[in-house]
């Protein structure tokens, strides 16, 4: 019998639209292709770049814009022959939004994400904690009644303390997930509420669409453990190596360690037991993470994430498995030829391989001394991105390229380092070496020096850290090499107009020395154009060793200088000039609280700048009168830009 053409042609694999960009998205793409699937990304749809951007979850037209992307995917010539079309949310925030499944179905696509019901449950943290409590899983929730205003917060605090159910400090938490760790604040003094809660609630509202809050008990000296998992429709749960997320900075996990350090067997078994109870109660299907806090005596469930997170490479490599394969197996098993194998326990396996320790380090544009984001232009990035030796291997995934503007609307993420070593001490040593070798310069500041010093701390080396360690105990080095300031002064003298008698260059509160000896350049290149000139290259220091420097102009009176892993935000200042308020960071003027000629008391918020999903209050330590507003709400500003002209007044 003669076969027809259809019988002779091998069936084509399903086509998948993968959302997002960056290193984690690239890995998901490669893993999907390795499973025999055809993958398309937004950049391949032939749309205008502005149209091809994923909307924010708070955008009123988000659904319409996403459906436009889905329709463009369906109409691609390369996609037309495929019988089955899918969408994968990647590691974007849309992967945990309940609307994704609905919008995909309305567009004729199938979504590789959990059900809308599950995602709604996980998105509503307060609701998921209520489900956990009903399933017999311990939580830290103090009150079942959420609050929505400063007055309700104060009333609830008085009631909880009067009933003996709460003592300071305790935790105020967003009922809905707020990306980046901004949804959690520790209340230490009730008097602080009026100062920061209104601003914070506004930030939560803009980030998640709701300002509903609730209270949790503060757990002293706790460790944060993250349990990755996969659960099938039949109810089988696969547990992967636990991540230690205790080295967090203001609620953000800059450092993740896997397997978790100092995790005893009793605590691990409790985590698996509580995870099973919660997931069975939720009837969750898919891949995700459950977050727990432990004080060494008890374990408490605090949050659930119903999607792949950015650091999935960490636990999948330590567990010798594939996260994306498990995700497809649980949510779209028809796309796999064979199911993935269950993960071996963390021990010497049949091949004799030793266990490994993984560390994930996130690089952000941030002034870690002032604790404010620092968007700007990226001028240079390291070319070396892979390291390996007999006892380790590491990779740096840049999320930015030279010439790219790290916009204030973005998350501020620059990239991440993922490293694997034979043991904890080796992992720390190799991680510090990699951080020392990273170079990124331009109009931004970054956090790799902060990470380097953190990983050098004796408590971290002995695995004695806890969730509040970075915020409460760790103080980064404040004083650079004394020879660097004269070198910076000499470099600035080459590219800027001569200083007048009343002028000087200032870093922090230090004046740079005037008349420093000229640099002995071995390689020099001027950058910028016109009045905004900079310089970069290598010079010989006092020990005749090569030193690298980049002086990048932000505007005519502000420069960002990079030397080794230090950043210096240097401004040109003139004695006797009018008092002014300058932008601590670049971004958008969110709001101005006073009019011209208003009198402002010390520590009152004068103005707020929005940047990298943060609201940055600008205050002054002295009483002032506002002479002139130099900006208006909605104006975009750069770091160091004059915002308000001021004058002193006596508050008698």
Q: What confidence score (pLDDT) does residue 3 get?
A: 35
- pLDDT tens-digit profile of 194-203? 777 888 888 7
- pLDDT tens-digit profile of 500-509? 989 999 998 8
- pLDDT tens-digit profile of 368-379? 888 899 999 999
Check residues 11 and 162 and name the one with the higher pLDDT. Answer: 162
Strand-pair partners of 174: 213
Check residues 161 and 289 and name the one with the higher pLDDT. Answer: 289
Q: What confidence score (pLDDT) does residue 136 get?
A: 97
pLDDT for residue 391 is more than 90: yes
pLDDT for residue 9 is more than 70: no
Q: What confidence score (pLDDT) does residue 80 get?
A: 63
Check residues 549 and 542 and name the one with the higher pLDDT. Answer: 549
Average pLDDT of span 100-107:
92
Kindly state the tokens that stand for 98.
Answer: 């309940």
Q: What confidence score (pLDDT) does residue 6 get?
A: 37
Average pLDDT of span 108-114:
93
Check residues 102 and 253 and name the one with the higher pLDDT. Answer: 102
Pair 308, 324: CB distance under 8 Å? yes
Pair 231, 286: CB distance under 8 Å? yes
Domains of the chain and any CATH numbers: 9-113 (3.40.50), 141-217 (3.30.1490.20), 484-574 (no CATH), 579-648 (2.40.50.100)
- pLDDT tens-digit profile of 242-294? 999 999 887 788 899 999 988 999 999 999 999 999 999 999 999 999 999 99
pLDDT for residue 349 is more than 90: no
- pLDDT tens-digit profile of 55-77? 887 788 999 999 999 998 988 76
Average pLDDT of span 518-525:
96
Q: What confidence score (pLDDT) does residue 78 get?
A: 66
What percent of the chain lies above the pLDDT cut of 90?
Answer: 62
**Which pairing describes strands 624-629 and 642-648: parallel, antiparallel, or unpaired?**
antiparallel
Q: Which long-range contacts (CB under 8 A, 24 or more apart) does 424-429 make?
A: 424/261, 424/357, 424/463, 425/461, 426/357, 426/391, 426/392, 427/357, 427/358, 427/359, 427/392, 428/359, 428/455, 428/456, 428/460, 428/461
The dihedral through the CA atoms of 149, 150, 155, 160 has a sign that is positive
pLDDT for residue 319 is more than 60: yes
- pLDDT tens-digit profile of 132-146? 999 999 999 998 888
- pLDDT tens-digit profile of 207-239? 777 788 999 998 988 999 999 999 999 999 999
pLDDT for residue 350 is more than 60: no
Check residues 187 and 456 and name the one with the higher pLDDT. Answer: 456
- pLDDT tens-digit profile of 550-598? 999 999 899 999 999 999 999 999 888 889 999 999 999 999 999 999 9
- Mean pLDDT (the chain, rounded): 89
For 113-245, where are the E strands, in sequence order?
A: 170-174, 184-187, 213-217, 223-231, 237-239, 243-244
Confidence band of 79 (pLDDT split at 50, 70, 90):
low
The dihedral through the CA atoms of 311, 360, 300, 147 has a sign that is negative
Q: What confidence score (pLDDT) does residue 477 get?
A: 83
Q: Indicate the SS3 state at residue 454.
A: helix
């Amino acid at each position: 019998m003669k076969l027809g053409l259809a019988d002779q042609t091998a069936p084509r694999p399903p086509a998948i639209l993968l959302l997002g960009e960056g290193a984690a998205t690239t890995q998901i793409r490669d893993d999907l292709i390795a499973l025999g699937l055809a993958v398309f990304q937004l950049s391949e749809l032939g749309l205008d770049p502005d149209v091809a951007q994923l909307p924010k979850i708070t955008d009123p037209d988000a659904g319409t814009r996403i459906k436009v992307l889905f329709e463009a995917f369906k109409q691609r010539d390369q996609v037309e022959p495929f019988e089955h079309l899918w969408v994968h949310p990647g590691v974007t925030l849309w992967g945990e939004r309940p609307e994704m499944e609905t919008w995909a179905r309305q567009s004729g696509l199938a979504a590789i994400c959990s059900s809308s019901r599950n995602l709604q449950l996980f998105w509503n943290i307060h609701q998921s904690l209520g489900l956990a409590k009903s399933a017999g899983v311990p939580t830290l929730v103090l009150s079942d009644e959420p609050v929505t205003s400063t007055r309700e917060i104060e009333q609830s605090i008085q009631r909880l303390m009067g009933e003996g159910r709460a003592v300071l400090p305790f935790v105020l938490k967003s009922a809905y997930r707020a990306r980046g760790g901004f949804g959690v604040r520790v209340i230490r003094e009730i008097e602080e509420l009026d100062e920061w809660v209104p601003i914070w609630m506004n930030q939560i509202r803009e980030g998640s669409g709701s300002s509903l809050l609730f209270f949790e008990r503060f757990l002293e000296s706790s460790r944060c453990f993250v349990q990755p998992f996969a659960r099938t429709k039949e109810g089988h749960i696969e547990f992967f190596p636990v991540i230690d997320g205790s080295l967090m900075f203001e609620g953000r996990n800059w450092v993740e360690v896997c397997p978790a350090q100092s995790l005893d067997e009793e605590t691990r078994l409790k985590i698996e037991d509580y995870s099973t109870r919660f997931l069975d109660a939720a009837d969750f299907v898919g891949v995700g993470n459950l977050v727990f806090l432990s004080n060494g005596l008890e374990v408490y469930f605090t949050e659930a994430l119903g999607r792949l997170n950015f650091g999935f490479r960490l636990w999948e490599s330590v567990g010798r498995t594939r996260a994306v394969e498990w995700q497809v197996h649980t949510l779209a098993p028809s796309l796999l030829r064979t199911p993935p194998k269950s993960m071996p326990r963390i021990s010497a396996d049949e091949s004799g391989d030793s266990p490994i320790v993984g560390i994930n380090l996130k690089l952000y544009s941030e002034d870690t001394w002032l604790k404010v984001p620092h968007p700007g232009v990226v001028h240079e990035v390291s070319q070396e991105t892979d390291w390996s030796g007999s006892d380790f291997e590491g990779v740096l995934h840049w999320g930015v390229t030279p010439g790219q503007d790290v916009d204030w609307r973005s998350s501020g993420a620059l990239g991440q380092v993922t490293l694997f070593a034979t043991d904890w001490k080796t992992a720390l040593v190799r991680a510090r070496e990699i951080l020392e070798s990273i170079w990124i310069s331009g109009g931004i500041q970054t956090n790799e020096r902060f990470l380097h010093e953190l990983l050098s701390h004796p408590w971290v080396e002995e695995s004695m850290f806890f969730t509040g360690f970075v915020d409460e105990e760790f103080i980064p080095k404040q004083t650079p090499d004394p020879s660097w300031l004269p070198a910076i002064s000499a470099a600035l003298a080459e590219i800027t107009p001569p200083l007048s008698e009343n002028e000087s260059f200032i870093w922090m509160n230090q004046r740079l020395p005037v008349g420093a000896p000229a640099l002995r350049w071995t390689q020099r290149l001027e950058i910028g154009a016109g009045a905004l000139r900079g310089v970069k290259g290598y010079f010989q220091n006092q020990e005749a060793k090569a030193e690298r420097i980049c002086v990048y102009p932000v505007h005519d009176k502000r420069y960002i200088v990079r030397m080794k892993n230090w950043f210096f935000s240097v401004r040109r200042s003139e004695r006797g000039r009018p008092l002014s308020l300058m932008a601590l960071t670049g971004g958008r003027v969110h709001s101005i609280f006073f009019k011209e000629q208003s009198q402002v008391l010390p520590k009152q918020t004068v103005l707020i700048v929005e940047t990298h999903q943060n609201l940055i209050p600008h205050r002054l330590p002295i009483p002032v009168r506002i002479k002139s507003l130099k900006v208006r709400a909605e104006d975009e500003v750069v770091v160091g830009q004059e915002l308000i002209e001021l004058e002193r007044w006596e508050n008698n």
